[in-house]
Amino acid sequence: MVTVTFSGARDGEAPLTWGQRLMWRAIHLMGDSQTFLSCPWVLPVYGRRDLGSVLDALRVLLERHESLRTTFASTPDGPVQRVARDGELTVDMVESGQDRALRVAERVADELGRTAFVHDKDLPLRCAVVLKNGRPTALALAFSHLAVDFQALNTLSEDWKILMRGEKPPPVEWQPMDQAAAEREEPYPARSAKSVRYWHSVLADGPLDVFDHPPREADDPRFIEVGMESTALAVAAQRLAERWTMSTTSVLLAACATVLATVSGRPRAVMQLVHSNRRDPRTRAMVGTVEQDGLFVLDLPGTDFAAACRAAQRGALRAYRNAHYDPFEMQAMREEIGRRRGREPDLDAFFNDRRTTGTWPGLPPVGSDEDVARLVGQTRTYVTNAWPGVRFKAFFTVVSAPDTGKLTLIVDTAYLPRDVAEAMLRGVEALLVRSLTEDVPMAAIPKVCGIGPYAGSPT
Amino acid sequence: MTAEEYTRRLAQLISEVSDGEITVEEVLAAGHTLSALGLTSPARIRLIDAIEDDFGVEMDLSDEPASFEDVGTLSALVARAQAVRETTRAW
């Protein structure tokens, strides 16, 4: 075990940013399952570098990015972020032995994320150096989601590459404390008010639950993540997106929302969309958590799936547009609706596209549209993870993978058993693959997808 | 503001939200959709913010996405939104 001592440019205390507020609430809602929100990450050591220079590069990251030197605490005036100027990070050493170093680093990063952060005391990251025959090969890290989001992790990777080349990354101009100050000034409050108005218009009426059927006895652990790896899914999404001149995200979102609406037996799907939200140019290179949730509504059209995709594209634009708000203000509105309607609407259906680009550059060559259907035979589904209490009813994630369509679905097994979750993933694939070769009318969706309204199962 | 002035200002905003990847001239040269010029989804959201801040209007996103593909159509939308705002003020 070694210690990295850092000394940054400034310290300070500020209210939480909007992104941090969202995560603060999520962490407290999830309780013991909050490790779901840990962000494991691996920074490979490029070239032959000794331990000293690797630890020095880590020190530079800690000094550059205030987010990595921040603790979070409740105060009588609300939660705050506290940036430390100086401090120490303890770093473990792990010898990879015979195993591939990067594989070991991934495993260590996952393990580091399995313990919840004590946010008012701990730095928001844990780190181990993975060594092969005594030489550093990678940093295995786990971050608190209060400190980073997906884009921040990519920024850290970019910084890391520069540092590993022995160069100096450009100065950091904008930090979460600056962002917290900016969010108190226009146009931020006006945008927040506008977003809250839009959400209110959706939540004022409509169903209070994601599903109408009663819960059954849940599995243990209650929440499971089912994954699907499908080349057919990626090829079909890419071809349909080109054909209909929209993003692959819109096509995948439309298919997931259509399947969710079909399973819930409703003509409308309401889902939260995780949005990177880096619209203020100053936030683009900021290490911090900026992601916020948008509220997406898809009313299934009377015509066909192509129309559903166009509607989803429009719905996503509205959702993203209104994903910029003060989460505390939003929560106050949701509580007000809760008082009026008896309880707050349950918004625990999600869609998150975690890819950094909208394509799959490593897809194998595939022939005609008819050939894509034959690839379905190679698709596999599996259970990847389980948690006692992540509180999602249905959470679709498009996972970043260069050479295959990787879609996962977290379900609450009290509402959707594993076989239904698998059928939903297969249904998304079937819908896109069939749409390649024929126009799919909405009335044909249950038959094409092999799913129908799920009424629950007798317990 | 004339239609031409609207269009030129919009072209400047589009260039800004794309970080200069798309030039004002490219936007003004007819024949390409903004998607074809490389306007990404995040840039599109920034464009809506920029339009609302710059022109002081609220964009109606219930329009077909195709309206956001052509600078001419977009400038007509903005002009319409400004007219709505003026009418509301007059009340």
**DSSP string of A101-113, one letter each residue:** HHHHHHHHHHHHT
CATH number at residue A49: 3.30.559.10
Q: Cα distance from B36 to chain A (closest Cα, Å)?
A: 9
- Assess whether A169 and A223 both reside in one domain: no
* Banded pLDDT at A82 (limits 50, 70, 90): very high
B56 vs A contacts (CB less than 8 Å): none
Q: Where a domain ends, among A182, A212, A244?
A: A182
Average pLDDT (A76-91) is 97
pLDDT, residue A78, reads 94
Least confident window among A125-139, A203-217, B38-52: B38-52
Percent of chain B at pLDDT exceeding 70: 87
- Is residue A459 situated within a structural domain? no
- Assess whether A192 and A163 both reside in one domain: no
The verdict on pTM exceeding 0.95 is no
A187 vs B contacts (CB less than 8 Å): 49, 53
Give me the sheet containing A12-15, strands edge to edge: A12-15, A80-83, A70-73
- Is residue A116 situated within a structural domain? yes
Q: Where a domain ends, among A161, A182, A203?
A: A182
- Assess whether A78 and A153 both reside in one domain: yes
Model confidence over A132-150: pLDDT tens digits? 999 999 999 999 999 999 9
Least confident window among A217-231, A290-304, A414-428, B24-38: B24-38
- Assess whether A248 and A359 both reside in one domain: yes
- What backbone torsions phi and psi does residue A450 show, to the nearest 5 degrees? 70, 30
CB A93 within 8 A of CB A1: yes
* Banded pLDDT at B89 (limits 50, 70, 90): low
- Assess whether A176 and A194 both reside in one domain: no
Closest residue on chain B to A247 (Cα):
B41
* Banded pLDDT at A280 (limits 50, 70, 90): confident
pLDDT at A267 over 60: yes
Note down the domain range covering A212.
188-449
- Assess whether A144 and A246 both reside in one domain: no
- Is residue A215 situated within a structural domain? yes
pLDDT at A204 over 90: yes
CB A407 within 8 A of CB A415: no
Q: Cα distance from B41 to chain A (closest Cα, Å)?
A: 8
**Separation of alpha carbons A418 and A423, rounded Å:** 9
- Assess whether A266 and A168 both reside in one domain: no
- Assess whether A223 and A197 both reside in one domain: yes
Model confidence over A191-200: pLDDT tens digits? 999 999 999 9
pLDDT at A305 over 50: yes
pLDDT at B48 over 80: yes
Q: A310, B65: Cβ pair inside 8 Å?
A: yes
DSSP string, A403-458: SSEEEEEEEETTTS-HHHHHHHHHHHHHHHHHHHHS--BGGGHHHHHT--------
Model confidence over A359-380: pLDDT tens digits? 899 999 999 999 999 999 999 9
- Assess whether A177 and A214 both reside in one domain: no
Task: Output the average pLDDT for chain A.
Answer: 95
CATH number at residue A226: 3.30.559.30
- Is residue A458 situated within a structural domain? no
Q: Which residue has the higher pLDDT, A387 or A20?
A: A20
pLDDT at A307 over 80: yes
- Which residue shows structure tokens 């100050």? A181
Best probe of the A interface among B17, B40, B61, by most A CBs < 10 A, is B61
Domain ranges for chain B, please list them. 3-90
Phi-psi region of A277 (alpha: psi -120 to 50; beta: other; left: phi over 0): left
- Assess whether A178 and A193 both reside in one domain: no
- How many independent structural domains does chain A possess? 2
ipTM above 0.90, yes or no: no
Average pLDDT (A217-231) is 95
- Assess whether A421 and A442 both reside in one domain: yes
Q: Which residue has the higher pLDDT, B47 or A179?
A: A179
- Assess whether A300 and A330 both reside in one domain: yes
pLDDT at B87 over 80: no
pLDDT at B90 over 60: no
* Banded pLDDT at B66 (limits 50, 70, 90): low
Model confidence over A312-332: pLDDT tens digits? 998 998 999 999 999 999 999
Its CATH class, for the domain covering B3-90, is mainly alpha
B62 vs A contacts (CB less than 8 Å): 314, 318
**Separation of alpha carbons A79 and A82, rounded Å:** 10
- Is residue A396 situated within a structural domain? yes
* Banded pLDDT at A459 (limits 50, 70, 90): very low
